[in-house]
Amino acid sequence: MSRTAVVAGVGPGLGESLARKFAAEGCRVALFARSADYITDLADDLPDPGEGLAVPTDLADVAQIRDGFETVRDAFGPIDVLVNHASAASWTGLLDTSVESFEESWAVNGRGAFVCSQEAVEDMLETGGGTVIFTGATSAVRGRGGAIGFTAAKFAARGMAMDIAQEYGPDGVHVAHVVLDGQIDSPGVRERNPDRDPETFLDPDELAETYWHLVERDDPSTQPFEVHLTNGPQPSEFV
């Protein structure tokens, strides 16, 4: 049976790989991002047998998120899979971070994921279950110093994922948190790091395989909550 999946936060790299992998597995995939042209082109280029839908959305805007989910339901029906993949970073420390910058990180990583999860889980409870995956980072489990907004938001998202898993796991909603301990490969990342060994980047296509494995897990008695993915020790400035 075809699943309806929402990838909230799509760009070159892992977001695109997730969309392509889910479509290749037969999902109807809704792409949420502010970059309307990019997600429209990607939706048109997703592999068969899947189907793509571009939903231009600012994931810091609650009304836009809720409207986006209504658009998905109108096109594809209720949501079976949600990936909370959007991220906003504040790469400054305590004394150099403005309240506005701190709140911007929280608005996307925390509040945005909260609203997306509300929308998706409500559908899943009506249809008998589903999967919610949070994309985490090294900063979700270990402070790096000098990135207080990002770290606080990612810690919050991890705790939120854990709480949703405990509340709705018995109802068939599988919630997982994926710690990406390293820098994900993409054209932009390689351009910014021309001298770095490509083998030290995380392969987004391989990461997408792990996400799909989490979706396929349908035994409620043995649902993994946290997966930690890395390709070995990473320089601190890259995590």
CATH code assigned at 108: 3.40.50.720
**How many domains does the chain divide into?**
1
Of 65-69, 71-75, 88-92, 207-211, minimum mean pLDDT range = 88-92
Give pLDDT, residue 170. 93
Give pLDDT, residue 119. 98
Quote helix, strand, coil % in the chain, to nearest 5: 50, 20, 30
Give pLDDT, residue 232. 53
Give pLDDT, residue 63. 98
78: helix, strand or coil: coil
Q: What are phi and psi of 235, to 5 degrees?
A: -60, 140
The alpha helices in 107-179, defined as continuous H runs, are: 113-127, 148-168
Give pLDDT, residue 236. 44
111: helix, strand or coil: helix
C-alpha 22/C-alpha 218 separation (Å) is 16
**Using N-to-C axis directions, what is the helix angle for 113-127 and 62-76, rounded to 10°?**
30
Give pLDDT, residue 124. 98
Q: Which residues contact 176 (CB under 8 A, 6 or more apart)?
A: 131, 132, 133, 134, 161, 165, 214, 223, 224, 225, 226, 227
Residues facing 198 on adjacent strands: none
Q: Which residues contact 44 (CB under 8 A, 6 or more apart)?
A: 52
Cβ distance 152 to 105 under 8 Å? yes
pLDDT tens-digit readout, 187-212:
777 778 877 877 788 999 999 999 99
Residue 222 structural domain: 4-238
Q: What are phi and psi of 54, to 5 degrees?
A: -85, 125
pLDDT, average across residues 15-24: 98
In this structure, what DSSP letter does residue 112 have?
I
Radius of gyration of the chain (CA): 17
pLDDT, average across residues 123-147: 94
Residue 217 — very low, low, confident or very high, per pLDDT cuts 50/70/90?
confident
Give pLDDT, residue 238. 38
C-alpha 93/C-alpha 28 separation (Å) is 41
What is the number of helices (H) and of strands (E) in the chain? 8, 7
pLDDT at 121 over 90: yes
pLDDT, average across residues 146-171: 95
pLDDT tens-digit readout, 225-234:
999 999 855 5
In this structure, what DSSP letter does residue 60 have?
T
